[in-house]
A and B are shown apart, each in its own frame.
Chain A
Amino acid sequence: MEAVVFIFSLLDCCALIFLSVYFIITLSDLECDYINARSCCSKLNKWVIPEMIGHSIVTVLMLVSLHWFIFLLNLPVVTWNIYRFIMVPSGNMGVFDPTEIHNRGQLKSHMKEAMIKLGFHLLCFFMYLYSMILALIND
């Protein structure tokens, strides 16, 4: 049972890693003027909710399977994701707004955020991998 939980988490984590890489690539495309702000933001906004759900599922799964440490590790990041989504002003077109992304260094902060998330998910990936192997051996 334990192994199944971690195999699922591992797959989910892979998806999140890919998503982070996608965010970074798209944002750097915008930085280099390969795409315009409008298409960049509509691409990214599409994936904000899937990312949030994907991450929440793992976190909840960890809580249910009583892995406290991993749950607490994930909690701040999930909270941040949800907070960011809820706090979008009513007039904006999503977390990424094409009219504001070039203002006040928003692009840089989005980039930084995506980088941090990538690092976090990589860390989680190895943690799940280790736990999975451990669980398989114990079985």
Chain B
Amino acid sequence: VADSLAYPGRQNAPPPRSSPVMSTVLPGAPSPRAPPAGKHPREPVALGVPLPGLPPQKGMQYGDCVNNQASSAPTPLSSASDDEEEEEDEEAGVDSSSTTSSASPVPNSYDALEGGGYPDVHSSSASSPAPDHAPEPDPAPAAPLSAKVMAKPFGHGYPTLQPGYQTTAAPPSAGTFAQYPQQHPGVNQLSSALGGLSLQSSPQPESLRPINLTQERDVLPATPVWAPVPNLNLDLRKLNCSPDSFRCTLTSIPQTQALLNKAKLPLGLLLHPFRDLTQLPVITSNTIVRCRSCRTYINPFVSFIDQRRWKCNLCYRVNDVPEEFMYNPLTRSYGEPHKRPEVQNSTVEFIASSDYMLRPPQPAVYLFVLDVSHNAMEAGYLAVLCQSLLENLDKLPGDSRTRIGFMTFDSTIHFYNLQEGFSQPQMLIVSDIDDVFLPTPDGLLVNLYESRELIKVLLNALPNMFTSTRETHSALGPALQAAFKLMSPTGGRVSVFQTQLPSLGAGLLQSREDPNQRSSTKVVQHLGPATDFYKKLALDCSGQQTAVDLFLLSSQYSDLSSLACMSRYSAGCIYYYPSFHCTHNPSQMEKLQKDLKRYLTRKIGFEAVMRIRCTKGLSMHTFHGNFFVRSTDLLSLANINPDAGFAVQLSIEESLTDTSLVCFQTALLYTSSKGERRIRVHTLCLPVVSSLAEVHAGADVQAAICLLANMAVDRSISSSLSDARDALVNAVVDSLSAYGSTVSNLRHSGLMAPASLKLFPLYVLALLKQKAFRTGTSTRLDDRVYAMCQIKSQPLVHLMRMIHPNLHRIDRLTDEGAIHVNDRVVPQPPLQKLSAEKLTREGAFLMDCGSVFYIWIGKDCDSNFIEDVLGFPNFASIPQKMTHLPELDTLASERTRSFLTWLQDSRPLSPVLHVVKDESPAKMEFFQHLVEDRTEAAFSYYEFLLHVQQQISK
């Protein structure tokens, strides 16, 4: 984007949902999606009710800020110089907040327009056509006043502060009402009828309503569960980061560690920093304004003390506002630093200057390392890959410098010289795998555009080159060493395709799985890696900004737990296709095709680092995801992709009594595929609370579950699987008994939980039945390890779908409550609980497991449905393996397909569809996801509740 400011509007304006599509509620129809708690920032109730205790006047806010500054006396912090030395590329010697750099090298940036002295500022900026400046779309309420400020650039009056600066939050009572009314669908109408009275008299927010879990039959709501909204005042809430990118397990942070310990809930952050966004303000500016001591980027939650100084919201240091920042390119006015896009958006992207580079931005470099042993040829993945590459060669992210290379290996390593000028690709074989070397210094990684023809020739030839091979060995380790040597000068992405256990050279592995132990209930061994070879290699790669992505397509045990290390620590990603075969297993092949399409064309960031900062008093201690923690809070990510999620555990080191808000900031510095250095910054602001009830009210059960899952993976590798399972059960027992002790006056015979945590036991049970943690059911070791890898690296939305799939009945879809997406009507069938009792024989059900869709067809399913949607006359004629819905010209078919496409569009990897007939052997796959039911090895939901209750009363 050439625009200096691509600023399409406030990010929170459309109701954010996980899908990039814009959807609107069908008018007239009572939509079940309309009232999800707080996903819509514009809640009629919250707006309508005058909040008692909120500072009503703008003038008061100024006082507030000053007061706040005085009360939270900033402790003198040590100088920033010490961390600047080691902060490496993210921070490399920048001192931006203090300097006002002159002479803009970027002609297109507004800084060039701004020129020198202030008197000119207005005339020059006003007269310049500046066609690339998007007009300010949302003038804030204080807009009329801004005209006066513009007139006098040195104005000390500073008449208005952005509403968000009220760092003292509304009194808890008022805020609590404002936050929670929407979770109670009934309250809406009620409140409009009673004019807010009902709200003020209500004893406690909806999320604290005690629920007797053992008596409540349907805990699962009919609509998808949304993230709870932090209990902040309306202005801050509007500015806050989208929960899709940044979520905290407790939306109300407890004041002290003691309070957190009392609540017995995990505290941590769930991040999806590089998510595909439809709207993202991009800022080009000479000086990126940051706090001088903690290096925080300026964000919507800082407070402006006066027009010239701002106070950091993380370390409370007072900083100067640089001259350049006084000019607002959006309104083209001067003297309104609080109207700048950095201060109006909690998710922004900066174009970084050379201060943020250790070396010139690297080009996009892709290397493919392919297994061509006999086993690989049998599986036949090579044809799929080459075809996919040929199709997507032009769509590979990159610029004119993009380079690409290929290596194949069996017991020897084959290089391909694709240097421009050759008529044929030249194959070079290195058979000395004990001491690998590169056969030629250049020509192995070539420019994609200069050598395009040769690359195409190679891709067309590759699938047939090794068809008659008899070589069964696989020298993966040496091949990786060679790949590392090849990539180390530039860095980039290595994609490894492997089909069996590596059996030669460094890093060879032995089979460790005992098939008889697959369904053991006692110990599951070998969850950890067998050798440190892959870890070392990954760390070497990470140091050279190279990420290794692993595609494991194997039918036998391949020790994924060891192989996965190469991706885990180099910030790569892992794909696993068990029993892959191009003809025998068409659904896996289809999945590979779809995954490859996404993998090759999705956005990619190179040589990235991510730093997470939080308000003084909080500290981060354990990170989850695929990366290497280079220093205490700096994550080194050789590559970053939009499908990577991260989790961080937090602890409260110092009491937070002198602050009412805490903030978290993630800064991701990366090189885009076009060779631009960019920083994506997300800032999340949360209130601090002092009572246990408020902590419970703000619990985000989905985030908590995802964090617990990550912790359980760590536990099962470092300790044992049964320890991890016990820890999961204890998490429920502890948190519910902690809640039970606070509401002892309400003690019934049942198991009590606050409404915010009512799904906690269900989700934990689902987690215990997950492939990663289940015992007693036959689970291959690689499948288990892969599930663990996914838990560690998936973002929250996908992980939740994996843990607890959504079940919808689809044989009677209606337009009731449907939503419109791109002129298509998408029906919204209610969620069903995951229990066989819901599966009527007359129905058809769709289960959405994230990466797989199942459509289960009951035995007595309506023949109209079978005919209209599946295109078969009756149940008996439906084939056993069906992976597509035909495009039939009937209303039912249209509705079903539109719902299915809508679900598919909302996630990056398009899932594979399986049509499962009742009575077909494949139905086991489907039934294992029904987590509320009893299996021979695990509790049913009700039994689990009783078990928890028994543990509590012990």
Q: Hey, which bits of chain A sit against chain B, CB under 8 A?
A: 30-38, 89-93, 98-99, 102-105
Contact = CB atoms under 8 A, between A and B. Distances in A.
Q: When A and B form their complex, which 5 residue pairs have the shortest distance between CB atoms, in order from nearest?
A: A91-B529, A33-B86, A33-B631, A102-B629, A103-B622
Nearest to A103: B622
B632 A31 contact: yes
A92 B565 CA distance: 11
Interface in B629-651: 629-632, 634
Contacts of B532: 90-93
B629 A91 contact: no
12 contacts: A32-B86, A33-B83, A34-B86, A37-B629, A90-B528, A90-B532, A91-B530, A91-B535, A93-B532, A98-B539, A98-B628, A103-B623
B interface residue count range (under 10 / 10 to 19 / 20 to 34 / 35 or more): 20 to 34
B529 A104 contact: no
A90 B714 contact: no
A57 to B, nearest CB: 28
B535 A93 contact: yes
Contact of A99 (B87, B535, B631): B535
A31 to B, nearest CB: 7
B773 interface: no
Contact of B531 (A35, A37, A91, A99): A91
A98 B636 CA distance: 13
Contact of B621 (A35, A37, A38, A105): A105
Nearest to B85: A34
A28 to B, nearest CB: 12
Contact of B622 (A36, A90, A104): A104
A91 B565 contact: yes
B528 A37 contact: no
Contacts of A93: 532, 535-536
Contacts of B832: none
Interface of B is mostly: mixed
Contact of A102 (B529, B536, B623): B623
B608 to A, nearest CB: 16
Contacts of B588: none
Interface of B: 82-83, 85-87, 528-532, 535-536, 539, 543, 561-562, 565, 569, 621-623, 628-632, 634, 714, 718
A91 B539 CA distance: 13
A37 B87 CA distance: 13
A47 B376 CA distance: 44
Nearest to A98: B539
A91 B623 contact: no
Contacts of A34: 85-86
A90 B631 contact: no
Contacts of A98: 539, 628
Given A37-B629, A103-B623, 5 more contacts: A89-B528, A89-B718, A90-B530, A99-B539, A102-B632
A91 B561 CA distance: 9
Most B CB within 10 A of own CB, among A30, A31, A90, A102: A102
A90 B531 contact: yes
Contacts of A36: 630-631
Contacts of A35: 86
B561 to A, nearest CB: 8
B856 to A, nearest CB: 40
Contacts of A105: 621
Contacts of A38: 539, 543, 630
A29 to B, nearest CB: 10
Given A38-B539, A99-B535, A91 B528 contact: yes
A99 B635 CA distance: 11
A93 B529 CA distance: 11
Nearest to A93: B532
B563 to A, nearest CB: 11
A27 B634 CA distance: 17
A59 B750 CA distance: 60
A90 B561 CA distance: 12
A90 B717 CA distance: 12
Nearest to B649: A104
A91 B526 CA distance: 10
Contacts of B528: 89-91
B653 to A, nearest CB: 12
Nearest to A30: B631
B82 A32 contact: yes
Q: Which of B561, B569, B622, B623 has the most CB of A within 10 A?
A: B622
Most buried by A among B83, B536, B561, B629: B629
A101 to B, nearest CB: 8
Contacts of B86: 32-35
Contacts of A102: 621-623, 629, 632
B477 to A, nearest CB: 15
Nearest to B569: A99
A90 B539 contact: no
A99 B82 CA distance: 24
Nearest to A105: B621
Nearest to B542: A38
Contacts of B714: 103-104
Given A38-B543, A90-B529, A104 B621 contact: yes
A91 B563 CA distance: 11
Nearest to B651: A105
Contacts of A92: 532, 535
A75 to B, nearest CB: 27
A112 to B, nearest CB: 15
Contacts of B531: 90-91
Contacts of A32: 82, 86
A35 B630 CA distance: 9
A35 B536 CA distance: 18
A98 B568 CA distance: 13
Q: Which of A36, A91, A103 counts the most B-chain CB atoms under 10 A from its CB?
A: A91
Nearest to A92: B532
A30 to B, nearest CB: 7
Given A93-B532, A102-B623, A103-B621, A33 B632 contact: yes
B675 to A, nearest CB: 26
A74 B82 CA distance: 40
A65 B225 CA distance: 72
B629 A99 contact: yes
A32 B634 CA distance: 12
Contact of B562 (A30, A31, A91, A104): A91
Nearest to A91: B529
Nearest to B534: A91
A92 B539 CA distance: 12
A33 B535 CA distance: 22
Given A32-B82, A90-B530, A93-B532, A37 B622 contact: no
Given A91-B535, A104-B621, A99 B529 contact: no
A103 B715 CA distance: 12
A56 B714 CA distance: 33
A35 B634 CA distance: 12
A102 B561 CA distance: 21
A124 to B, nearest CB: 32
Contacts of A30: 631
A99 B628 contact: yes
Nearest to A89: B528
A131 B543 CA distance: 51
Contacts of A104: 621-622, 714
Contacts of A89: 528-529, 718
Contacts of B87: 33
Nearest to A40: B631
A109 B393 CA distance: 50
A36 B630 CA distance: 6
A98 to B, nearest CB: 6
A93 B535 CA distance: 8
